[in-house]
Each structure stands twice: as C-alpha cells, then as structure tokens.
Amino acid sequence: MKNDSMVCDEFCPHPQMIHAAQDIMPTQKEMSALADTFKIFGDVSRMKIICALLGGEMCVCDISLLLGMTQSAVSHQLRLLRNAFLVKTRREGKSVFYSLDDDHIYSIINQGLVHIRHTSKEENHHD
C-alpha cells in the first residue's frame, strides 16, 4: 500500500478475504431495506421519540409533553416510524399507546449509544 493512501500499489487480490466477505454480504434487497431503516433513524425528532419509548409504551399526549413537540408533529413522526416497523400500537378504549416494535430496535439504539459514549470517552481521554 502507498503511504497514507487507500489505494494499493499493485493488484493484489486476496481470494479468501473476498469469499469470506461474499458469504456475509446481504442481498441487494436487504441492503436497500437496511439503508431505508437507517434513513428513518437519521432524524433527531424520530430519535427522540424512539428514545422516549425505550422505557415502555406511551401515548401521543405523553410523548408530546415529554419532548416539547406538538401532538401533530409527534403523530406525523410516529406514522413514519410505524410504517418502517420500528414502533407498534396498542389500543385501550379511545387511547392508542405506542411502543418499540421489538427488542431489535432497543438493541440497535442501545448499541448506538454504547458506541457514542465509548467514542466520546476516547475523545475526552486524548485531549
């Protein structure tokens, strides 16, 4: 490899590495769905709502009060999250309660937070 460069000096394939990567590569359909999911995570308002739901189910009114957002804005974001299968609903009389769709969503957010906090500690340690 060239110094400080991401380009090989010469063509130097490593078939075993290529085959190992091919074995774990998602399908094109899976990669597209994954990219779409991470696009949904890429909005601060939606992340606030998801994080609010980490502790359990909540109704639009409670989420709105907690986050200082209008009920209309919360409802709009919840609709997007629901369409992406990131949150689900439960009806109790006239009330609708929202919660994370499954434990995978909790794990994704938790791992992201662990990474952010770990990275933040390293940055502070190097100062």
**Confidence at residue 43, expressed as pLDDT on a 0 to 100 scale:** 96
Going from N- to C-terminal start, the domains of the chain cover 43-125
Confidence of residue 23 (pLDDT cuts 50, 70, 90): confident
Whole-prediction pTM value? 0.80
Edge-first strand listing for the sheet containing 95-100? 58-59, 95-100, 87-92
**Confidence at residue 1, expressed as pLDDT on a 0 to 100 scale:** 43
pLDDT in tens, 42-70: 999 999 999 999 999 999 999 999 999 99
Of 7 and 111, more confident: 111
Altogether, the residues listed in the chain come to a count of 127
Q: Which residues pair with 96 in a beta bridge?
A: 91
Whether 94 has a pLDDT exceeding 80, the answer reads yes
**Confidence at residue 127, expressed as pLDDT on a 0 to 100 scale:** 57
Number of neighbours of residue 100 by Cβ within 10 angstroms? 21
- Per-chain mean pLDDT for the chain: 90
In this structure, of 2-6, 25-29, 96-100, 103-107, the range with the lowest mean pLDDT score is 2-6
Number of neighbours of residue 33 by Cβ within 10 angstroms? 14
**Confidence at residue 67, expressed as pLDDT on a 0 to 100 scale:** 97
* Protein fold of 43-125: Arc Repressor Mutant, subunit A (1.10.10)
Q: CA-CA distance, 105 to 82, in Å (whole number)?
A: 12
Q: How far are the Cα atoms of 13, 19, 34 from residue 25, in angstroms, in the given order?
A: 18, 10, 12
Of 20 and 122, more confident: 20
